A and B are shown apart, each in its own frame.
Chain A
Amino acid sequence: MNVQFKKGVLDLCVLALTVWEDRYGYELAIAMSNKFEVAVGSVYPLLNRLTQEGFFTTYLQESPEGPPRKYYRLTPQGHSHLMALISEWRMFSVAVDELIKEGVER
């Protein structure tokens, strides 16, 4: 996928993955890299930044198989940020679709 496209939406996607359940870093990294061909390594700095901006809190939790894992939980602030990003994305994608229909698929 085009790099310019991805830039803006990575925040949105990683926040979206944590709405219903807290997830650990590896899980998020794999989920993101499967969908977007994103380097796994770029997901951790992303998580780090979103945490520093107050959109995630983290905690350690024992896992059944082995040492504890670090989980990411969406904060209320993160939630409202996500909602803002989603509405922005919707507007954007609707506009793009309209232009495609108008310009290409007439």
Chain B
Amino acid sequence: MTKERYLKELWTHLSPVPERIRRDWMFDYEEHFRLAAEHGQSEEEAAAELGDPRFIAKEMLLGHRVAEAQSSGGSLRSVSRAVFAAVGLGFFNLVFVLGPYIALMGLLFALWAVSVALVLAAFPILYEGYFGDAFEFQFAIFAAMITVGLGLLLGATAYKLTRGFLRLTLKYLQANTRMLKGRKV
């Protein structure tokens, strides 16, 4: 592969990264071709030594996503992007990374939904207690307090679990990026 084609391919595959950062990253590779030529290496040799630009781009992209997710304090969106970048790398088995991630996300979502439902349940209970005749209003207030309390408690738990889960996911990805870097040696 010629220098021009190599750099162009790397540039294209890095397209999800902001241009300023991309230019900075590309500099290493441009410099490598330049210095390799000065040391008497052909463009093909230098390109072969550097390895597949697609692969390199993905590796850097994953690193970028993980760093991004970390600086955002592990937000749901950024962690999910990092997970998808990891899956895009192709070494992570779709079933082993994406599967559990989505399954656990579903579970957490269910927890959130239940906690919201419990809080909202207070309204119909109060309504029934006041206008209906299924039970007394006093009982309705009592029951509403219980459901709201349970809902909030569950909500707090869901929040803690979600944060923890996102943090763990990030840790896992980081450990894996580290492993990948050593892989080709």
The reply to whether the CB of B165 lies closer than 8 angstroms to some CB of chain A is no
Residues from 54 to 69 in A contacting B, C-beta threshold 8 Å: 58, 60, 66-67, 69
Stretch at the interface among B24-32, B80-88, B90-98, B154-162: B24-32
Question: Is B185 a contact of A6 with CB atoms below 8 Å?
Answer: yes
Q: Which residue of B lies closest to A44 (CB)?
A: B28
Question: Is A42 a contact of B181 with CB atoms below 8 Å?
Answer: yes
Query: Which residues of B sit under 8 angstroms from A45, Cβ to Cβ?
Result: 56, 59-60, 63, 181
Q: Which residue of B lies closest to A9 (CB)?
A: B182
Q: Which residue of A lies closest to B21 (CB)?
A: A52
**A36 CB → nearest B CB, Å:** 7
| Consensus secondary structure, chain B interface | helix
The reply to whether the CB of B20 lies closer than 8 angstroms to some CB of chain A is no
Question: Is A8 a contact of B50 with CB atoms below 8 Å?
Answer: no
The reply to whether the CB of B134 lies closer than 8 angstroms to some CB of chain A is no
Question: Is B63 a contact of A44 with CB atoms below 8 Å?
Answer: no
Question: Is A41 a contact of B184 with CB atoms below 8 Å?
Answer: yes
Query: Which interface class (under 10, 10 to 19, 20 to 34, 35 or more) fits B?
Result: 20 to 34
A25-B184 contact, Cβ under 8 Å, with A52-B64, A52-B67:
no
Bound Cα distance A7, B29 (Å): 23
**B46 CB → nearest A CB, Å:** 8
Query: Which residues of B sit under 8 angstroms from A26, Cβ to Cβ?
Result: 31-32, 35-36
Bound Cα distance A25, B64 (Å): 19
Question: Is A40 a contact of B50 with CB atoms below 8 Å?
Answer: yes
The reply to whether the CB of B124 lies closer than 8 angstroms to some CB of chain A is no
The reply to whether the CB of A3 lies closer than 8 angstroms to some CB of chain B is yes
Query: Which residues of B sit under 8 angstroms from A3, Cβ to Cβ?
Result: 182-183, 185
Residues from 37 to 92 in B contacting A, C-beta threshold 8 Å: 49-51, 56, 59-60, 63-64, 66-67
**B158 CB → nearest A CB, Å:** 31
Question: Is A53 a contact of B67 with CB atoms below 8 Å?
Answer: yes
For the A-B complex with A7-B178, A37-B185, A70-B24 known, give 17 more contacts whose Cβ atoms are closer than 8 Å: A3-B182, A6-B185, A7-B183, A10-B185, A26-B31, A36-B185, A38-B185, A39-B51, A41-B51, A41-B56, A45-B181, A46-B181, A48-B28, A48-B60, A52-B66, A60-B27, A66-B34
